[in-house]
């Protein structure tokens, strides 16, 4: 096959959306991926799309003072593999700097700019793939066990409110009406009406990838080992199985993009914030909408194949062995809030979310390489930001003004 116009490295939601958007420009595109479409981080998330629920970054003001207690509390959802902690120190230092109030405002503005275009960017991709039935516009709930905890969490909501995110504070009875699986421990809640959810994020990525190949795209299963460049700057991608040339390359390989960027001389602050989930195929209850148990930092999502419970932020090497005690813990926490929850046939999963210390993705041309585009580091929001990132990648490759100001996401900001 003749060299494609663009090679996209990675077949998660960001890589596949980028490939589809490039195809819509009339370009010939090849995806090279070490995992099958949607099999890595994109496989096991809670499925939330749009609505701007997560406008505020993780590094809210005051978080640094709370971090030691969080890390030392074995029941807290933040966890660090202590043998990996020394490697994490530079990331944590940048995280602390990102929690300055003025910086949080800037970060929230940048995240809001992506969320604002997330849903409309996704719509044509879903329609072309015949996947509109895989997304439900049900809204979502954040529930609290006391009025005090809801008030404390209002700091994050205020950043969202000032950027146009719509939400409504409701009591526990109204929360149980919206999602009857919730038990009496729910005292109050916040409802986000504009939030949508996919019924199966892994399958959604696979369906989008099938549209990509049906439209002439090539999908190669291989692991990238390096790059080379012709005298005119044209890139080639070296893999274990061969070498592939293209006019341009997009790196969208999630947490593994850190090593690929370093091969090109760019050091990005990117670490694996590993999330766990438990999948219950016969939960004995029927959830109606994605619900965050805010006091316990976990999410319960109804899926086409059961009920999914997600949680934990474990910092470790992306390929480290799972600690499924985390998954068992979030299941026990969920059972306290959902009466009658059944665990027969439960399966557990872990995936490395590619997280930057400022909660902003890396989107832009690789420093020193005009024919390489970076598109990674979306943390817990890859599904929400995947389509707009693909659109921005297409803008860069087509050399037109981007739909969103890319300055906050520049690769050399670290």
pLDDT band at 75 (very low <50, low <70, confident <90, very high): low
For residue 232, give every residue at least 6 positions away whose Cβ sits within 8 Å of its Cβ, in sequence order, or none: none
pLDDT band at 202 (very low <50, low <70, confident <90, very high): very high
Q: Is residue 294 part of a domain?
A: yes
pLDDT value of residue 89:
93
Cα–Cα dist 410/33, whole Å: 24
Say how many C-beta atoms besides its own lie within 10 A of residue 36's C-beta. Answer: 15
Q: Is residue 30 part of a domain?
A: no
Interval 335-341 mean pLDDT? 96
Residue 347 belongs to what domain range? Answer: 65-99+136-193+270-355
Q: Is residue 335 part of a domain?
A: yes
pLDDT value of residue 275:
94
pLDDT value of residue 74:
61
The tens digit of pLDDT for each residue in 24-72 reads: 999 999 999 999 999 988 999 999 997 778 999 999 998 888 777 766 6
Q: Is residue 115 part of a domain?
A: no
Q: Is residue 295 part of a domain?
A: yes
Burial annotation 279-289 (CB, 10 A radius, 16+ → b, else e):
bbeebebebbb
pLDDT band at 73 (very low <50, low <70, confident <90, very high): low
Task: Report the domain count for the chain.
Answer: 1
pLDDT value of residue 71:
67
Q: What is the CATH number of the domain that holds 347?
A: 3.30.9.10
Res 276 pLDDT > 70: yes
Q: Is residue 129 part of a domain?
A: no
Burial annotation 159-194 (CB, 10 A radius, 16+ → b, else e):
bbeebebebebbebeebbebbebbeebbbbbbbbeb
Res 7 pLDDT > 60: yes
The tens digit of pLDDT for each residue in 358-407 reads: 999 999 999 999 999 999 999 999 999 999 999 999 999 999 999 999 99
Q: Is residue 144 part of a domain?
A: yes
Res 1 pLDDT > 60: no
Cα–Cα dist 57/22, whole Å: 29
Q: Is residue 17 part of a domain?
A: no
Contact 51, 140 (CB under 8 A): yes
pLDDT band at 78 (very low <50, low <70, confident <90, very high): confident
pLDDT value of residue 405:
97
Cα–Cα dist 40/356, whole Å: 18
The tens digit of pLDDT for each residue in 218-248 reads: 999 999 999 999 999 999 999 999 999 999 9
């Amino acid at each position: 096959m003749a060299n494609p116009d663009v090679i996209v490295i990675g077949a998660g939601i960001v890589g596949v959306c980028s490939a589809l958007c490039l195809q819509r420009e009339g370009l010939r595109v090849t995806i090279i991926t070490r995992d099958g479409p949607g099999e890595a981080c994109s496989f096991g998330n809670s499925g939330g799309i749009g609505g701007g629920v997560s406008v505020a970054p993780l590094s809210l003001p005051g978080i640094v003072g709370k971090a030691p207690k969080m890390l030392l509390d074995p029941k807290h959802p933040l966890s660090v593999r202590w043998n990996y902690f020394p490697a994490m120190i530079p990331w944590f230092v940048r995280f602390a700097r990102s929690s300055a109030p003025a910086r949080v405002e800037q970060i929230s503005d940048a995240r809001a700019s992506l969320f604002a275009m997330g849903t409309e960017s996704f719509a044509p991709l879903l329609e072309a793939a015949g996947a509109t039935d895989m997304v439900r516009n049900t809204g979502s709930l954040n529930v609290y066990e006391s009025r005090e905890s809801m008030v404390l969490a209002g700091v994050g909501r205020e950043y969202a409110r000032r950027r146009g995110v719509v939400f409504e504070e409701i009591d526990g009875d109204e929360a149980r009406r919206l999602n009857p699986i919730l038990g009496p421990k729910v005292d109050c809640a916040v409802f986000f009406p504009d939030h949508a959810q996919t019924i199966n994020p892994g399958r959604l990525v696979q369906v989008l990838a099938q549209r990509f190949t049906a439209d002439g795209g090539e999908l190669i299963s291989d692991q990238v080992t390096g790059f080379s460049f012709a005298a005119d700057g044209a890139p080639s991608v070296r893999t274990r199985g061969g070498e592939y040339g293209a006019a341009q390359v997009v790196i969208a390989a999630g947490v593994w993009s850190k090593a690929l960027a370093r091969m090109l001389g760019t050091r990005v602050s990117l670490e694996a914030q590993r999330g766990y989930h438990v999948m219950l195929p016969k939960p004995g209850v029927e959830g109606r909408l994605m619900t965050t148990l805010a006091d316990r930092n976990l999410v319960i999502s109804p899926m086409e194949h059961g009920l999914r419970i997600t949680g934990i932020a474990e910092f470790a090497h992306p390929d480290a062995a799972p600690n499924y005690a985390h998954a068992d813990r979030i299941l026990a926490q969920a059972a306290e809030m959902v009466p009658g929850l059944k665990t027969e046939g439960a399966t557990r999963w872990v995936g490395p979310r590619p997280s930057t210390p400022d909660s902003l993705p890396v989107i832009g041309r690789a420093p020193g390489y005009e024919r390489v585009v970076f598109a990674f580091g979306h943390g817990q929001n890859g599904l929400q930001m995947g389509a707009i990132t693909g659109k921005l990648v297409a803008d860069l490759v087509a050399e037109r003004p981007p739909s969103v100001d890319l300055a906050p996401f520049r690769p050399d900001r670290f």
